[in-house]
Amino acid sequence: MKNRFNLKLNRKFFLENLVLKAGDLATGGMFVSKLKEWREICRLPKEKIDELQSQKLREILSFSVKNSPFYNLQNITSNTDPFVWLKNFPVLKKQSFRDNLEFFITEKNVKKLIAITSSGSTGPPSKVFFDKKVLSNNRALQILWWEWASYEFGNSILQTGVNMNRSKEKAIKDKLLNTRYISAMSHSEEEILKELDHLQKNPRDHFVAYASSLYLFAKTAINHKFTSIRFKSVISLGEKLLPEFRETIETAFSCKVFDTYGASEGFLIASQCSEGNYHIMSPHVVVELLDDYDREVKPGQVGRVILTGLDNFTTPLIRYELGDMAVKSKLKKCPCGMELPLLGEVIGRQTEFINTPSGKYITVQNVVRVLKNFPEIDQFKVVQNKKGEIRILYVLNKEYNLLNHSEVKIMFEEVFSESLDLSFEKVSFLPKAKTGKFQLIEREG
């Protein structure tokens, strides 16, 4: 047992301090040093974390108004308090950013930079430019979050992704980090069963995937009685992790699910700790939760997610409206011991709401709360058109012959206390978007 423990420590040390450090030297990256830096930041007391955030905010605001043509033209009034200064900046809509991208970039030679395009799950995709330092920083933050979920270098990983054409660099990384990379684009029952069978014979320590992928794997495992598959942890990313998803995944794989919250524009916003609370990476991003009049919401209230990045000086994004809704946390301190600030529940995309005739909102959570009473439905998607008509697409569970549409309609109308224009369409499968994500609620037009 002692020899096995020492071997594990030696492998972890070898990967982090020799192999990955050598990779940084070869590529000009800073992954290892950034990871160690973030580990130290997580141990800081609140006043030191706040001080670091304030300092970095002042630096990015000062740099942006001098070097980014877009912000320079805004004639923004400065202030000695960086948070007061920040409020003088306008809220930046995605469309405005996309239309004026060239005026945000501060590096004249963009060929030196790496361009990353967002998933486009809330509209047309946005392109953001990064240098190697920022990419190293973001990768370090991702691994830090995995470490909160008990990951260590040398642990084996099953990970889903959109692009299966792995570059030489990524293929080497997958090999070194013991990662089996599978497609997130198609999860037919046959494909999932094949992968579950492979997992039984070749166990993995961690499963990292979109929330919907995790849920489909877990549900299939339960339905087909795969009872021996265990993970140290499951890490959810990219989509809203619904309570039903979490419950099913934890039941199927006998482990905790750690949810992460980020955006492909380069923001690693928050992640769950061992206590299940979302910690905001405040020395990396300033998070504002605003109402419809751009006022900060109170604890316990839902607000629009507005982000200011503190690390990317190449394409500075200040008060960028992500298109998400989240709850401001009522909790001031977390029992886990970290003093990074807390975020309440992540509600999801602003587009993931259905409007009732009286002006109420039907959220993903509301829909799941109703439809979980109907085991006849295996999968579903809710679509609302311009006229307000609501269509429920569903895949019928194999154990049932039909779904009583009238009963579903009655329950929806009882929950929302009003008449709804509902129609139903049985389908054989529900395709995912090009991003590999699956949107449970969609508004047309």
For position 173, what pLDDT does the model report? Answer: 76
How far is residue 336's CA from residue 338's CA, in Å, rounded to a whole number? 6
How far is residue 34's CA from residue 77's CA, in Å, rounded to a whole number? 33
In a domain, 5, yes or no: no
In a domain, 162, yes or no: yes
Domain CATH number, residue 159 = 3.40.50.12780
Phi, psi of 16 (to 5 degrees): -70, -45
How far is residue 158's CA from residue 177's CA, in Å, rounded to a whole number? 11
433 and 411 housed in the same domain: yes
In a domain, 139, yes or no: yes
361 and 225 housed in the same domain: no
End-to-end Cα distance, the chain: 61
Phi, psi of 320 (to 5 degrees): -85, 125
297 and 427 housed in the same domain: no
In a domain, 19, yes or no: no
How far is residue 129's CA from residue 106's CA, in Å, rounded to a whole number? 10
412-to-85, 407, 409 alpha-carbon distances in Å: 46, 9, 5
344 and 381 housed in the same domain: no
137 and 70 housed in the same domain: yes
Residue that finishes a domain, picked among 332, 348, 364:
348
263 and 370 housed in the same domain: no
Give tens-digit pLDDT for 122-180: 445 678 999 999 999 999 999 999 999 999 999 999 998 766 677 777 777 778 788 99
Range of the domain at 394: 353-443
Instruction: Determine how β-strand 157-161 pairs with β-strand 206-210.
Output: parallel
In a domain, 13, yes or no: no
For position 365, what pLDDT does the model report? Answer: 64
Q: What one-character-per-residue DSSP string does 303-320 give?
A: EEEEEEESS-SSS---SE
Q: What are 352's strand-pairing partners?
A: none
Q: How many residues does the chain have?
A: 445
How far is residue 375's CA from residue 398's CA, in Å, rounded to a whole number? 10
Burial, 395: exposed, middle or buried (Cβ in 10 Å; 0-12, 13-18, 19+)? middle
Assigned token pair, 3: 């020899």
260 and 370 housed in the same domain: no
153 and 267 housed in the same domain: yes
Q: What one-character-per-residue DSSP string does 108-127 give?
A: S-GGGSEEEE---TTSS--E
How far is residue 233's CA from residue 253's CA, in Å, rounded to a whole number? 9
SS3 392: strand
246 and 370 housed in the same domain: no
94 and 194 housed in the same domain: yes
The stretches in the chain having pLDDT less than 70 are 1-9, 118-125, 162-164, 185-186, 349-353, 360-361, 363, 365, 432-438, 445
Domain CATH number, residue 375 = 3.30.300.30
In a domain, 247, yes or no: yes
389 and 332 housed in the same domain: no
Buried-state track 312-338, b at ≥16 Cβ within 10 A, e below 16: bbbbbbbbbbbbbbbbbbeeeebebeb
Nearest to 80 by CA among 61, 66, 63: 61
Give tens-digit pLDDT for 319-343: 999 988 899 999 999 999 999 999 9
Q: What are 285's strand-pairing partners?
A: 309
Assigned token pair, 330: 């009522």
Q: Name the helix (H) or strand (E) containing 279.
A: strand 278-280
SS3 409: helix
HSE of 56 in the Cβ direction (CA atoms, 13 Å)? Answer: 20
Number of separate domains in the chain: 2
Helix, strand, coil percent values for the chain (each to nearest 5) = 35, 25, 40
How far is residue 363's CA from residue 440's CA, in Å, rounded to a whole number? 10
Nearest to 315 by CA among 266, 268, 367, 256: 266
Phi, psi of 337 (to 5 degrees): 105, -20
Amino acid letter, 45: P
In a domain, 219, yes or no: yes
* Predicted TM-score of the model (pTM): 0.81
In a domain, 8, yes or no: no
Residue that finishes a domain, picked among 325, 348, 371:
348
166 and 250 housed in the same domain: yes
| Residue 163 CB partners (closer than 8 Å, separation 6+) | none
> Within a 10 A sphere around the Cβ of 346, how many other Cβ atoms?
18
For position 24, what pLDDT does the model report? Answer: 86
Q: Tokens 């529900």, residue?
A: 430
357-to-360, 389, 412, 413 alpha-carbon distances in Å: 7, 10, 13, 12
Q: What is the rounded (10 degree) CA torsion for 174, 159, 350, 126?
A: 20
Residue that finishes a domain, picked among 327, 348, 369:
348
Q: Tokens 């449970």, residue?
A: 440
Assigned token pair, 212: 């919907």
